[in-house]
Chains A and B, each alone.
Chain A
Amino acid sequence: MRPFAFSRATDVADAVQQGSLAGCSFVAGATNLADLMKYDVTRPARLIDINPLTLRGIEELQSGGLRLGALATNAQTAYHARVQKQYPILASAILSGASAQLRNVATNGGNLNQRTRCYYFYNSALPCNKREPASGCSAVGGVTRVHGILGTSSACIATHPSDMCVALAVLNASVRVTGNFGDRVIPIAEYHRLPGDTPWLDNTLQHGELVTAIDLPNESFATNYTYLKLRDRQSYAFALVSIAVVMHMEDGVIREARVALGGVAHKPWRRTEAEQTLKGQQPSTQLFETFAEELVAGAVGYGDNDFKIELARRGIVRACHQAAEGTPQSQSDKDIA
């Protein structure tokens, strides 16, 4: 690994000031960053340790929502009593991802900002527009099993690897950030972005901006939810396709439904207009198939990942049934009868 300079931030203001310099990166858990640096994919001149910052709390908001500190670990978040009670889909999604060791260290802010696991992004010997702007995309025409089918561009077909963020998408979370130009609140739908012709930008953060928290609105999805993650082995693998669903049900009718997909796009994939199809309807396979078609409309395979289109359709139907019936996918007992 290349050497790098190192300093600790004393508080948020100090972190923002230090982070505004060129070549600086913030570091918290480092579970993704250390790996990227070992592969020479990321080459920070200086790491700024933000662990001394008081951003570890998980606190109830006056609105009744919940604020997840950027430095709270994924494990602390998933096992937090309020998260498990009010937003169990978030706990489920987090626990479906990575391993216990990684979740003990990886932070909520780091999870948001983790990089794609595209093989070509990780291989510094090959062209990659995300790693090296304008160098080309090796994935198009390459091995594409883990790549995107929705919202891709000719410059990049990488996917965002997070499970947590797929759950945040259906929870209408917002990301609180701070920087030299003040504080901002970014709706989760606008935090990550599609690659377009600037795939090196994963999200809408400006250089030097620091994520301080993730806010969850005051809602509860205690029963009608699921996080269904489909992958090459039953645990400790990234999603080929994952489906997050939350519903408000009333007398057997879907009052509101929100569905997001992971593993298929450069950001959690959600279409609020398609969700209107489910509104006011009684759950049925036919209804969910119609909705699935709308959610994956325009999907394009790149060869090895063609299967993801049909896998997504079927997964959406299964996940919608799980949510409507209040039988969420278990993250420990995953055998399918």
Chain B
Amino acid sequence: MPETESPELIPIDITVNGVLHSLEIESRLTLLDFLREKLQVCGTKKGCDHGQCGACTVLLNGTRINSCLAFVVLHPGASVTTIEGLAEPGKLHPLQQAFYDLDAYQCGYCTPGQICSATGLINEGHARTRAEVRELMSGNLCRCGAYPNITSAILQVLAEGEAQ
């Protein structure tokens, strides 16, 4: 869309994976584009860009959200965790390890969103059974169809009680 004048810039403080960023942004900037285009933190993927696929899922103040539908200006002072920030350096997060062990991905494009979403799901504490995990992970699509193994990986981590 051509622009006739420079959009207004709004100052904001936001922490991403433990690093505080103080900058000025356009009001229309989504958290997904902020991560990928401004910070070059590209683990978070853009799938549909309309909240239908879950590839862009990140943790905002510990809660899973679709970053493609989040205007950054609505979240001053927030702390964002992406797939890059989940694990301690040199060690896989329990969900990353379980996805690896149980072959819970094929092409891998949805995987960062799946793992961030599963982290949120475990923190929320509402899923115990396979049916509940499937239902509460339904916001994350996998076009390769790795769902059975994704569900198994999450159930394994749930059973081990290793939520962060």
Contacts and interface: CB of A to CB of B under 8 A. Distances in A.
Interface of A: 1-6, 27, 30-31, 34-35, 37-38, 40, 47, 49, 51, 75, 79, 98-102, 104-105, 235-236, 331-334
Given A3-B28, A6-B27, A104-B64, A34 B131 contact: no
A100 B64 contact: yes
Contact of B71 (A2, A27, A235, A236): A27
B129 interface: yes
A301 B155 CA distance: 44
A337 to B, nearest CB: 14
A35 B50 contact: yes
Q: Which 5 interchain pairs have the tightest Cβ spacing?
A: A99-B139, A235-B138, A6-B27, A3-B7, A332-B135
Main secondary structure of the interface of A (DSSP, over half): loop
A31 B51 contact: yes
A99 B1 CA distance: 30
Contacts of B129: 332
Contacts, number: 96
B30 A34 contact: yes
A28 to B, nearest CB: 8
| Count class of interface residues, chain B | 35 or more
A6 B73 contact: yes
B136 interface: yes
Given A3-B7, A34-B70, A236 B138 contact: yes
A179 B137 CA distance: 39
Given A100-B120, A100-B121, A102-B139, A30 B70 contact: yes
Contacts of A101: 51, 54, 57, 64-66, 117, 120, 139
A104 B28 CA distance: 21
Given A30-B71, A100-B136, A331-B135, A3 B3 contact: yes
A235 B131 CA distance: 11
Contacts of B71: 27, 30, 34, 47
Contacts of B30: 34
B10 interface: yes
B69 A6 contact: no
B136 A47 contact: no
Contacts of A99: 54, 66, 138-140
B126 interface: yes
B69 A30 contact: yes
Contacts of A4: 27-28
Contacts of A34: 30, 68-71
